[in-house]
Structure 1
């Protein structure tokens, strides 16, 4: 038997190759299996899950799958037991051709987290392909004149198998003329041939039939045959002869058509037609050679006529025959081996095999995002590929295996800055010039709830008019969230807290989706001036994030309260003010005072007084102060004036529209003696009552002093503790003043305390200003002679604009109208009353949130203006132990001392009175200058 093919290596060489292969596989990190070709469906290949260290229970949840660049249906994995098995027919020859090594490369990918394993399944060859000749019969024409040992080449058989299965042994049917010549292994290109052993005799045997059999080395053996029909020709003594039997040519791939490959030349020693040579390809040459190459019959030039591709075939073996024109024709043979040189004509190929998208923005650096595989059909340097990533992004490429890259996270992500990345992966080979290929990878960043809703500003000021309709929209809050989808879905709610005795949700509500704030009920400025609350904005993420905004709702005043008269007043009856007026009084004498208050603020609470015209058009001898409400005489009274005067005083505020009230003043004109007796009787009655109570008051004073001492001690201890604490707003600092006023006229001023309620949800209403004055009148004591005060005095009072109550310090002449609230804008007003006796009144100018200022002037040229009762004697400021005493110094030195008022103690000073008997003229003179002592409890 004769062996033809790749050779049979020795046992030692085979063992060394196996050891090197095992070492390479261990270093590469692959799992290697082998399976014979043509294995049946379900054939066991290996326990892939166990070999990769994966639990069977993880295969389905982690999305276990296989990816193959070749046919993906050849092998399959049973996810129940983790066994790799044959899924469809595997034909090694179809898969790898005649390559010595044939493997199926699998990429096993599991997600959550992403892992990639490389599995190589070697397909082992079985002897399933018999040797095949290119034709079933070959005709040979041999002249009988050929000498012995002449050689006639034959085309051998081919076997699609490899290794031992492709090692062919040739046998020639027995005959006496020819033997079979098989070249040794080193002469692979030398063809199989017949050797003439015995000269031919055409007359004895014109045709010879032989059978050539090829047997492979497989188990079992497979064979192939070809019939050789030898026709013995008559003498053409010399056949064409080539210079060499083998010509080797190197040809670059992608050469153009018409490129010369080689110019063959054969010689024939014969002459004439027997020496004329015709060149042609061998009849058994493969069809693909004829499609790519052409030989000129006369010149022997072989040229290119088809596309030469190194990746399709790395070499071509062309058998050429040279026939002469003799009869019978003789032929010479040679082989042209065309070796194709590789050119860098194939760009790299990129494939994205797995994506873990979208990636959350809080993913840690090093997270595997996608797997990218590259390949290049070229060889050598032309097939070496390097990958790069553009642009500069928080990702990088990491080479995990040969021609495999992982796209991993390199730095932190922020979806609010960049929501998606368009990456360009470029693969470039090492050829010259180099070729490249690119693949776009879009990486979407998934949102994480890492941004809380934010408001444009931390606090809003809202102004709402009082008496609003229930359910009216007063403001809209809006918060923005930089996140996406449900993480950016903002809902609004009210932060519940108490406002005094009620909860804030009883006043307002917030729409959860739109953020609109509604007033649930009409707001009353007199009850609630400032409503402070918070609105919370929460997103829909998990866990939800949120923030708060503060709303300060200022309730603006409207003129919804008419002036209220303080009735009944001293001497009044039936809701009217009654006074006795001596007929001897002169012009400008104050005979009565109308008192009124208005619950509104600002101009809505600024009151003015007007005297209604008398019936019949008579000019009344009385007038009323425009802003003081003091009823005074315009001239000296005479006998013609009616003894009873009925005056209607219209009290009007400055709102739009203005609201009014009417007061009735009843004046009885009496003689001076009757008025003095009435006054004396009243004073004497009071003196007797006081004398009766002196004895009882001694014990009361002792008890009050003891209690007051204990109270003072407690207050001092409390103040010391508060001052020793860290300073806070409002502690140990100047508080809001409490104003206590006393008067020196014959009637006490009205006392009113009003609490200003400013609700912020953090405490009870606070008292901004309290004004106290006695409400019980006290007539002049017996023996006191009224004296006219010095009219030249001025007083200016500055009150906070935040006060919204009408604090009437009538006797002090400080305030004639309630100051405005924080929402009032006072006009600039400076006017004098029509009457010269009224003096100048300047309403608040430029009043805002900080201050209101009122100024009253009584000039020295106004002797008729009564003034002792217009100035408060003392002010007591809370938080300060001082008592501020304002002393009124008339030019007449008959007043010696002024009253002092303190808390918890009554101090009374007596004035020395000068009485002159017998001189009634002097008595009347002193009546206008005398003042009556007043005390305040």
Structure 2
């Protein structure tokens, strides 16, 4: 059957192999088969899988497929054995006309990895068309006066085959008057002519019937016949004559309708009516429905009727007869060869076959997106086509074979930046003017999960009042994911941890869909001032991606703790204080100490001495913030031997909560007072140190420690200022340490975004107040870079740190 040829790797394949590596492969070799036309269905053409170096068992798994170039599926491949066979009847004349070489181009495509092969199947001509004469009978008029060796051209036969199958030879039936000779034209066509070798006598032989047989050069030979009816004419013995027996004319294919092709002029040496000539077109070859020719029978003008199309027919042969009006008429013959000159009147045609759409955004460079084939019906430079791609981007066109290109991914793509590309493939020919055609390719980018959910902030600060109801919504976290579909579907979860001995999940929960954070139980500021935890956001992609955000939940204090009076005045029975009547004004009789479990304003206590009913001016007062009970005037006998003082301790919360302490003051004479006091002092010494003395010692040590630390801090700050004095402040912000802020009696309490610092103390002496506060002056990061602000801040803290 056909002969398979496979070229080795050329330079082009080597370049492509280096360029694209193992991602995809385009074969530059070509397999060539030959096949006679009219082969039956199922006729073996070649073992295409074997010739292409493919494994027959992998044809199905690698999606083996054959694409023909815009033609019917004349050929098919059996994917079970890799054999190429004839699928439908192939008529070479119908497929290619008179083109010398007729081929069917196939593209063989396999995947995993992608390979493209080009296969050419040449259709060989067989002798399946016999010679055909244009008419069944040719009428020839020969004057009896014609001389010997006179020649009479005949209309030759035509054969649709090519090559040797179309080479014709002629044979004339036997007769006494005429012989047959072959005339070879300039285009190597062979035409028959009759030659007179015996003078005619009309009265003896008025009519001669001959049979002309045309035989082609095929095997087996095919023949065609035409009957020649020769009528012998009487004395009009000078036929019209043309200047040439053959005229050559060239016209552009865009010549308008009615264009003069040629003006013929034949002459006749006869006189009168025997010399009057009329012109007729005897034959036009090949015949065309688009273009015909009209001849003026009087002037000999031949004009175009219709339109010339180079792509339809590039050459026309027109046989013209000039006939005089003699009796009988005589005719002269000539042939006009019209060559149609091609112009660039056909734009290129572009065909795009998609392979890998849409494109994954993580697809590697070198991925083949589509195959592009171009064609142009014009010839020469008018049919030379080049392709370009626009706009510039991550794609490129690579030439793989003559008029074949591959659309290839040249660099990485990102769906979040550009979700789709509209590409335009432009094919331009090299004619003048240049013609072009375009094909649009829409390339969608398919999302992959390459973006993790992200929060707007790394840390969120939340303020929640204590004693919240269970299940209270305290915050909503929200993360965004620029991916698409399930890759952007975010779910939230709590990053499990422990708060003390309890799991974090017993305090808070996070709704997986909405990101809402709920407090599962009432929060107690006195138990938990700051709750820090993380929430995780994960998408639904594969593999899933996630990120965490930190939440700082500050539990704001509410006034839910009443003041508590410290011993010794905390009991139900009042404590008796002995006071000498001779004490000076302002003498401290006793000191009421109280604490409050709350913080801020809610823990800022004030003391108030409740008035006695029916009693005049009270000689005692209590310090508003110190709780010290002291005399306001000299004591008198009228004040009585004993006073019951009721002290109200009240915080500054809303609403305010309070507690009371009762103190019994006994007035004694000066001498008794001294003895009693001495006795009490001796008893106290024998009994050991009192709690008040112990508190005094503790406060002394505490004051010494605070002063030492403050001194070291001041020295460190001085050194820091010296090192950082020339550094300009930077505007950088971030979370700070939360601090509970308290002011003195003339200022207010407030709550900042700093962590409360609790300072707990035991009992204090009657004449010493130790209050540790941090002023409400939180510094931003920008301020923290300023040495002067730092010094001022610490100095202000130190001023309020100790009050003696």
Fold equivalence (TM over 0.5)? yes
Q: How far apart are 1:808 and its partner, in Å?
A: 7.2
Q: 667, 676, 695: which one pairs with 1:669?
A: 667
Q: How does 1:425-436 map to 2 (within 5 A)?
A: 425-436=425-436
Deviations 1:727-763 (A, max 9, x none): xxx9xx989xxxxxxxxxxxxxxxxxxxxxxxxxxxx
- Going from structure 1 to structure 2, the CA distance change for 1:157 and 1:812 (only over 3 Å counts) comes to farther
- Indicate conservation of the 8 Å contact 2:740/2:755, yes or no: no
Aligned to 1:629: 627
Deviations 1:456-508 (A, max 9, x none): 22222222222222222222222233333333332222222222212222222
Secondary structure at 1:273 match in 2: helix
Q: Distance in 1 between matches of 2:688 and 2:283?
A: 158
TM-score normalized by the length of structure 1: 0.71
- Indicate conservation of the 8 Å contact 1:823/1:848, yes or no: no
Q: How does 1:507-546 map to 2 (within 5 A)?
A: 507-546=507-546
Q: Distance in 2 between matches of 1:508 and 1:849?
A: 40
- Going from structure 1 to structure 2, the CA distance change for 1:477 and 1:187 (only over 3 Å counts) comes to closer
Q: 584, 587, 592: which one pairs with 2:585?
A: 587
Aligned to 1:577: 575
- Indicate conservation of the 8 Å contact 2:283/2:318, yes or no: no
Deviations 1:631-665 (A, max 9, x none): 22222222222333222221111112211122222
- Going from structure 1 to structure 2, the CA distance change for 1:293 and 1:466 (only over 3 Å counts) comes to same
Secondary structure at 1:381 match in 2: helix
Q: How does 1:891-906 map to 2 (within 5 A)?
A: none
- Indicate conservation of the 8 Å contact 2:428/2:436, yes or no: yes
Q: Distance in 1 between matches of 2:9 and 2:153?
A: 48
Aligned to 1:133: 133
Gaps of 5+ in 2: 11-27, 690-708, 715-736, 742-753, 780-791
Query: How many residues are paired up?
Result: 720
Q: How far apart are 1:627 and its partner, in Å?
A: 0.9
Cα RMSD after superposing both structures: 3.5
Aligned to 2:616: 618
Secondary structure at 2:165 match in 1: helix
Aligned to 1:206: 206
Q: How far apart are 1:766 and its partner, in Å?
A: 13
Q: Distance in 1 between matches of 2:351 and 2:342?
A: 24
- Indicate conservation of the 8 Å contact 1:211/1:227, yes or no: yes
Deviations 1:866-911 (A, max 9, x none): xxxxx4xxxxxxxxxxxxxxxxxxxxxxxxxxxxxxxxxxxxxxxx
Q: How far apart are 1:325 and its partner, in Å?
A: 0.9
Q: How far apart are 1:344 and its partner, in Å?
A: 1.6
Q: Distance in 1 between matches of 2:6 and 2:77?
A: 27
Aligned to 2:15: none
- Going from structure 1 to structure 2, the CA distance change for 1:26 and 1:240 (only over 3 Å counts) comes to farther
- Going from structure 1 to structure 2, the CA distance change for 1:203 and 1:459 (only over 3 Å counts) comes to same
Q: Distance in 2 between matches of 1:849 and 1:66?
A: 89
Aligned to 2:411: 411
Aligned to 1:328: 328
Q: How does 1:190-589 map to 2 (within 5 A)?
A: 191-282=191-282, 287-288=287-288, 291-567=291-567, 569=568, 574-589=572-587
Q: How far apart are 1:278 and its partner, in Å?
A: 0.4
Deviations 1:796-821 (A, max 9, x none): xxxx9933467577537665878579
Secondary structure at 2:614 match in 1: helix
Deviates more, 1:40-49 or 1:264-273: 40-49
- Indicate conservation of the 8 Å contact 1:387/1:428, yes or no: yes
Gaps of 5+ in 1: 1-17, 692-729, 736-764, 770-799, 826-845, 858-870, 872-937
Structure 1 position 657 matched with structure 2 position 611: no
- Going from structure 1 to structure 2, the CA distance change for 1:24 and 1:543 (only over 3 Å counts) comes to closer
Q: How far apart are 1:383 and its partner, in Å?
A: 1.7
Q: How far apart are 1:523 and its partner, in Å?
A: 1.5
Aligned to 1:162: 162
Q: How far apart are 1:850 and its partner, in Å?
A: 9.4
- Indicate conservation of the 8 Å contact 1:801/1:820, yes or no: no
Q: Distance in 1 between matches of 2:37 and 2:475?
A: 80
- Indicate conservation of the 8 Å contact 1:469/1:521, yes or no: yes
Q: How far apart are 1:394 and its partner, in Å?
A: 2.5
Q: How far apart are 1:849 and its partner, in Å?
A: 14
Q: 798, 802, 823: which one pairs with 2:756?
A: 802
Q: Distance in 2 between matches of 1:682 and 1:283?
A: 157
Q: Distance in 2 between matches of 1:647 and 1:65?
A: 109
- Going from structure 1 to structure 2, the CA distance change for 1:35 and 1:557 (only over 3 Å counts) comes to same
- Going from structure 1 to structure 2, the CA distance change for 1:147 and 1:463 (only over 3 Å counts) comes to same
Q: 605, 608, 630: which one pairs with 2:606?
A: 608
- Going from structure 1 to structure 2, the CA distance change for 1:505 and 1:26 (only over 3 Å counts) comes to closer
Q: How far apart are 1:264 and its partner, in Å?
A: 0.8
Q: How far apart are 1:409 and its partner, in Å?
A: 2.8
TM-score normalized by the length of structure 2: 0.82
- Indicate conservation of the 8 Å contact 1:814/1:856, yes or no: no
Aligned to 1:646: 644
- Going from structure 1 to structure 2, the CA distance change for 1:476 and 1:290 (only over 3 Å counts) comes to closer
Q: How far apart are 1:688 and its partner, in Å?
A: 4.7
- Going from structure 1 to structure 2, the CA distance change for 1:847 and 1:515 (only over 3 Å counts) comes to farther
Deviations 1:506-559 (A, max 9, x none): 222222232222222221111111111222222333333322222222111121
- Going from structure 1 to structure 2, the CA distance change for 1:58 and 1:675 (only over 3 Å counts) comes to farther
Secondary structure at 1:165 match in 2: helix
Deviations 1:140-191 (A, max 9, x none): 2223332332222222222222233323332222222222222247663563
Structure 1 position 599 matched with structure 2 position 597: yes
